[in-house]
Structures are given as C-alpha cells and as structure tokens.
Structure 1
C-alpha cells in the first residue's frame, strides 16, 4: 500500500508541475497578441485616387522615413481605388522597404487600395471600414477585358500570399464571373467589412481609433511625425490624373486657335499659356517631365510661328513633331499621353472648323497681314525716288557706325556707309541707292566723278 501511495503521490506531483507549466505558457499567449513596440513611427496618408502623382509622393515619403531612421510606417488608406500600374509600383515600393509597414483602414480601401494594403506587413481596420471590390473597370465604368482581369487577379493573389492570407479571397475580390463557395456567388465581387476581414485573416487587428492604434505599437502621438504632400505634389496629383490632363491639353490647344482669330494677345492666349504651364509643372513635380520635354514643346511653338512667315512645310512639320514629342514624353505614360493629346487635337479641330465657318479664313489671315490702309488722308507719303543721288557728293554730318546722316547737295539724307567707320565732317559720295536705302562711302582724293 505504501508503494502505491508513493507512486500516486509522484503522479500528483508531476500533474501539478505540468499544470503550472501549462498555465505559465498560456499566460504568455495574450502578450503575444499585442503588436511589437517601435521606437519611431511615420504616418503617411494615402487618400483619394491612386495615380502617378501619389506614387511620386510616396517615394519621397518612404525615403524621408528611412532618412529619419524610423522603424515603423503607418499608411492611412482611404481610397476608392485608381490606376493598376500605379498600385503595382506602390506595392513594389512597400515590399522593398526595410521598414515595418502597417496599412490602417479607417474608412475604405477598395480596388487598388486593397492591393496596397495587402502588400503591407500588417492590416489594421476600424469598425465600419471596408475593403475589396477590386474588379478593374474601363473609363466607361464597365468591367475591363478578360486579359487585364486575369493579370490583376494574379497580382492580388501574389500580394495575399506575402503574409499567408487566403488567395481565394483576393481572387473573389476581382473575378466577377467566378463563383467562390463560401465567399461569393458568380456575378458579384467580394468586399469585406472589418469583422469579416478579421475572420478571413485579411485584417490582423481591429482598433476603434487612431490613438488605440498608436498605443498598440507603443507609439506616442507627440513623437510620431506625419509626412504630408506638398502644395506642388497636390497640384501634380491633380494634373496627372487622365481627365485633368486631357482637359489641360484641350484648353491649351483651343486657346491657341481662338487667339489666332483675335487681335493682339488676349484672354485666350493667357488661358492657353496657363494650361500648358500647369501641364508641364505638374508632370515636372511628379518626376515625369524634365527640361528636355519643356524645351521640345517651346521649340515646336517657335517653329510653328516661323512657318507662318517662312512657308514651305518643313519647318512647320518639325515644329508639330516637337510639340507632340514634348507633350507626350512629359506624360507619365506614352499611351495615355497620346490618347489625351488625340482627344485634345480632335476637339481643337472642331473648334477651328467652327471659327473658320463663322469668320472665314480672313479672320485668321488678318492676324498676319498688315491691315492699316496707307492713304494720303491718313498722312502717308510715298518715298520719293532717290536713284539720282548716285555719284553725288556731300559731307558726313554725323559719324557713320555704319548708319548716319549726310548732307548731299544741301539736303539731309539718312544713309549707311559701304564699309567701315566714317567720321563726322568727312567728304562722302553716294555709291548705291536701293529703294529708300542710300549707301555712301568716304570720298578718296582724286576720285572726281567716280561712282560704283
């Protein structure tokens, strides 16, 4: 009996020790549910449409965060979506960053915004926020072609795989014609609220507000720095959007055409100048345009003006190519630049047709033809024939450098010297008359009666 008691006692002791050890291990689990603490954080807003201007801003913001030796970047994402290529570039920027990146969704992160969030190390959402609905659409708002949808679906799947998230959820957000049992029926796309995102592993945590988020990572609001877009970057984001880019080109080209039909340099020319300046400024700040593109555009304008006075076609053709090259090369995408320019040229051609129909070509040609009538009543006096002055002699009343005034047979005559400098008071002789141009040279000794 004593042996049995001893065994039982040892068993109880082992069980007690096991329970104590298990309790210690379990006590550590809640601590692991809290996020790692960080020393320095940078807050970066990702708002409005995802486009090239935002991409340029985020490149600067991440570089600045690294320069400040931050170890945590919080992206506050609130976007309806945007360009797939821009989202892809931003996703690559996040993946290549050595910093820990948290995507904080306080409102919405649809389409391209979801892709950006999936590339972050963690996703944190607030109650009432949502993500998903990532089917790409065209400018008309319809679903894009199958090839584009397939490629984008693979990009979303790859982003989900980065942090071991269910790739079918990402695909269900994109593929409208595919059924995903338990996620969505065919003919719809998947979007997630914060609770379902957490259940499906697409949200790592849910917090009530910004302060709770900062507390989660051990960051004080006083020490955290926010990197905001500059005024120039905001202008660049606005200008580089496809719709605004097309509008600026339309305004610029139409302004030139209207200005050609108006006397002097007026409102249309000023508006055109402002439109083109905004176009190049926005693309320059965004990092897409440089001085070569601006120079090509200005050279093209100059050559087109010269073509008016030096007809022949070659100068004008080179000018047109320079203008197109400058505008398209300054755009963030050649295809988009050509499309925007094509729309602008079409609208400008329609406006030019309407103006010519209303005012005729005379309205345009009058801009380059002298319109003042030269009549005796308005004080015009035709120059008299001075060819009889050839061979006549006189004296220089002023120095000739080479223009000057000479006194020829008692009459003051404006003239130019045939060669070098002629001092005042020197004898001169008229050697040539071309219209109103009188040419004299210093009279040499023993040159009586000689003329050229």
Structure 2
C-alpha cells in the first residue's frame, strides 16, 4: 500500500474517533427529556415545596402532607426547592421512598446546597435542576456531634442507598458512591477531574450537568417552570403550618431530651418539695410540649398520653398510700413506656429518656437537699421540740420549793405527799423511810421531781 494513502487512512480514522468522542460528550451533556406529567390540564398547578432546613422526622411528615395535597390538587409537577446541609439518614430514606413512589413527577430544584441527606433526596427525584453557584454531594454519614462515622457497615449501607438512587434515574452510580465513601475514588472524564481516595465528591451546578447529575442550570423558579413547559400553569407553594414548625422543633433529639429533663425534674421536685408552684408547672409544661410535638408530627396517639397520665397517678398514689413499691414500679413503667411509644425512633427515645432521668435525678437531689425542711417526709415526722427556753413546760416550775420546810402528810416509802408552803406536793426521799407527820425539808428539785429529807433536831 502506498505510504501516503496509509497515512491518510490513519488520519481519517483518528478524526472519526475524535468526532465520536466529541459527539458522545455532547450527547452526555444533553439534558434528559422532561418527565411527562400525570395531570396536564391547563388548571393543573405546579406545587412548590420548600426543603430549607435540617432533614428530620418533622420534615418527613410535612413532605408527606405536601405530597397528599399535591395529589388532591391534581398537580402537574412537584418541585422540591432544596437548600439544606442534610440531617438524619433514616428520615432521608423515608423521604426518598416518598419521592420514588410519587405518582406526580418530582423535580429537585437545588438553589443552594443539597449536601449529605439532601443529595440523596435530590437523586431520587425524576429530574434535577440547579442554580449557578449551587452544589450537590458530600454525603458522608456523621453523628450527632458532627463527627464523620467510620463504621464500615454504616458507610456501606448509605453508599448502597446512594448508588441505588443514582441508578434509578440513569446516573453514574460510582459518583454517588464517592459522595459517601471517601475510600471509593472516581474518575470523571467529562469534567477532567479525578477524585482520589480520602476525598468526597461534591459537584457544582456546571459539573453536575456535565456528568449527567443535573438536567439543566436555571436562574430562578421561572426558568424551572419553562424547563417543565409549565410557564402558563398556576404555582401553588405549600408551607409548613405554625404547628408543624413547632412540632419539628419540639421533636428534634436535643429539644425532646431537654423537655424530658424538665418534665421529670419538675414533677419530682413538686412531689418531694410540696407547694404546687413553678416546678410543677414547668414539669407539666415539659411533658405537655413533648407529647404535643410528637402528636402533631404524627408519631404519638391519644393512647400514649393516657398511658402517661395513668403512670403519673400511680406514682402519686404510691407516695401517699404505700404498696411496697408495686404501684410505683407500674407507674414508672407506664411513664417510660408512654414516652418511648410516642417517639418516632424508639431506640433514640429510650436513650434520651435514660439520660434525662439521670440528669433529673441529680437536679432533684440538689433541690431536695437545699429545701429539705420542706420535704414531703416532714408530714410524717414530728420535728418540733418543746424546749423550756421556747416557753414550753410540762408542769409548773417547782424550783422555788428548794430549801422549804414542810410536813409529811403520808408515809414516804420513799414517795408520798408532803405539805409545803401551805400546799400538798408529790415528793420523794433519797431512799429513806419517813413516817407521817414528820417534819421534812426540800433538798433538791429535778424538773417535776421534788426530793425531801427528814429534819433532824439536835
């Protein structure tokens, strides 16, 4: 073969390969087709639901309500307006399930950060659009103190959840795994970036579009509607009610534990240091807010409140009508059971209750020590002293009789009666016998005891 022809053939082949790579990259960068709506009538609204706070159980219940209202409104799309740093993994998994099972297509609109659990929720959506400057990823599992969890089992579970969410929508699962597991590492050729082991993947809006993790970059909600071909449809924003906002606050782990401490300490102080006042009111308020928050969040039922009331009554009865501890044990079991049953996560509730009990015990011990003179036990113990210096005397004082003379009215063997100073007095000798009509003299007065001796004439 002619060398020049061979050279031209090689150049042509390389050119075709380059075109195929460029074309493939261009195809990869093309946004996915807009998910077809279930309801497309002109009156079908686009429901916007804000996700602007920590992901926890209260948010989960709010989103479930929002999805139900969107279904009742025959919404065209549900747009999750996401700007969150993440939160509870278990709540994120429940929310992700609600997103996946929604009959109405769900669009994740990231206009700030979709970090950690927030990225998982976004990956479950039917499509993701992002504002310039927004980001998605960095989904490592952290504990309550914000420290990254090193447990291989926990990391593997969360990584598998992220991979599954990515695969569900046709996204590269390796990138999702590298958002969770810093030992995964991944090469993203589309953005000429390799994430080494020891790093977590976090994507900007431009990078997310380039690697197929977002469909489009939008400036605002209006462009989201244009992307959905819904610019002419009404927009319905569903906000949390004041009760839901309060419930979200009250059911957060730290606040719930604090309410339990206040409830336990307040009630105990009121029982042991009588006088219904501030401790009792705070105790009832603490437990009341605990059950109100969990009831509004959909975790507690009226049966939990009734069980708690039964436990409180049994403890009060045990204090005033001792039953050898039987009623007290049943009452404590009812209280603990009601608190745990009312919680979303029973294991977490049991731990919080145990910690609250220990803290409350310390607080009660300190208060009882300070106000021990007002303790309930003082109702059963006579602590008043009838001292002479306080004006209390068992009988009229007889000290004035000391040295006085008199006559034995009865034989003194050794006790009897003598007439001293014109009045009859109960007297006693030092052990000697004194016959009747014998002259006596008072030699000692010991409280009510008058000691006499016979007068000896020389």
Partner in structure 2 of residue 189 of structure 1: 200
Cα distance between partner residues in 2 of 1:160 and 1:40: 28
Q: Is 1:148 aligned to residue 154 of structure 2?
A: yes
* Contact 1:106/1:126 (<8 A) preserved: yes
Corresponding residue number in structure 1 for 2:454? none
CA–CA separation in structure 1 for the residues paired with 2:287 and 2:233: 42
Cα displacement (A) at 1:267: 1.4
Instruction: List gaps (5 residues or longer) in structure 1.
Output: 1-29, 376-452
| Cα distance change on mapping 1:34 and 1:59 into 2, 3 Å | closer
CA contact (8 A) 1:172 1:183 kept: no
> Once structures 1 and 2 are overlaid, which stretch shifts more, 146-155 or 175-184?
175-184
- Deviation at 1:313? 0.3
For residue 319 of structure 1, the aligned residue among 301, 317, 331 is 331
Matches of 2:228 and 2:116, distance apart in 1: 27
Contact 1:183 1:190 in 2 (8 A): no
After superposition, what is the alpha-carbon deviation per residue over 1:52-81, rounded to whole angstroms, capped at 9, x for unaligned? 111111111111111111121101011110
Pairing 1:47–2:57 present: no
Other-structure match for 1:126 = 131
SS of the aligned residue for 1:173 comes to helix
Does residue 1:207 correspond to 2:218, yes or no?
yes
Higher alpha-carbon deviation: 233-242 or 249-258: 249-258
Q: Which residue of 2 aligns with 1:353?
A: 365
Aligned counterpart in structure 2 of residue 339 of structure 1, from 327, 331, 351: 351
Quote the residue 1:404 is aligned against.
none
Residues 152-163 of structure 1 aligned to structure 2 (within 5 Å): 152-163=158-169
Work out the CA distance in 2 between the residues paired with 1:267 and 1:157.
53
> Residue deviations 1:249-301, cap 9 Å, x none?
11111212332354421112111111111110111111110011111111000
Q: Is the 8 A contact 2:114 2:137 kept in 1?
A: yes
Task: Quote how far apart the aligned CAs of 1:35 are.
Answer: 7.5
Q: What residue number does 1:112 align with?
A: 117
Normalising by structure 1, we get a TM-score of: 0.72
Q: RMSD across aligned C-alpha pairs, in angstroms?
A: 2.4
CA distance in 2, matches of 1:156, 1:32: 20
Distance (whole Å) between structure 1 residues aligned to residue 227 and residue 182 of structure 2: 37
Residues 204, 263 of structure 1: alpha-carbon distance in 2 compared, 3 angstrom cutoff: same
Say whether the 8 Å CA contact 1:101–1:122 is kept in structure 2.
yes
Q: Identify the residue that residue 392 of structure 1 maps to in structure 2.
A: none
- Write out the 4+ residue segments of structure 1 that deviate beyond 3 Å after TM superposition: 30-39, 260-263, 356-360, 366-373
Q: Which has the larger radius of gyration?
A: 2
1:95 paired with 2:100, answer yes
Where 1:345 maps in the other structure, the secondary structure is helix
What is the rounded CA distance, in whole Å, between the counterparts of 1:58 and 1:292 in structure 2?
25
The corresponding residue for 1:266 is: 277
Over 3 Å counting, the alpha-carbon distance change for 1:371 and 1:161 in structure 2 is farther
1:291 is aligned to 2:291: no
Distance 1:245 1:53 in 2: 12
